[in-house]
Amino acid sequence: MSKTIYRTEYATLLRMLREARLAAGITQIQCSVEMGRSQSFVSDIERGIRRLDIVQLRDLCRVFGITLTEFVTEFENDLAAKGTQHKNSSKKRRRKRSLID
């Protein structure tokens, strides 16, 4: 399996983060001040140099005025519209269902 930073989904995530910030009318500097981080921290995230954990993603969403759930739902919808889906996701779902049944 390839590293996530090289997958289409990751490029979509980065694009959507930047779009969410811009839609909120927030500069990288304003975002960084709200998070208590440097401007380069936000820039590095948007350029894919710095990876995010889920807590940091949630913090960014709050700064943008959206919930993590809203962001993830939009992310999944964007991927579905593009037909981008991880190759093993349907196999894993079938396996989980059979373990539950």
Q: CATH second-level architecture of 4-100?
A: Orthogonal Bundle (1.10)
Position 5 scores a pLDDT of 78
Tell me how far apart the alpha carbons of residues 12 and 76 are, in angstroms, rounded to a whole number: 10
Amino acid letter, 28: Q
Q: Are 18 and 64 in contact (CB under 8 A)?
A: no
Return the domain boundaries, the chain: 4-100
What are the tens digits of pLDDT across the range 9-53?
A: 999 999 999 999 999 999 999 999 999 999 999 999 999 999 999
For the chain, the average pLDDT equals: 88
Position 85 scores a pLDDT of 64
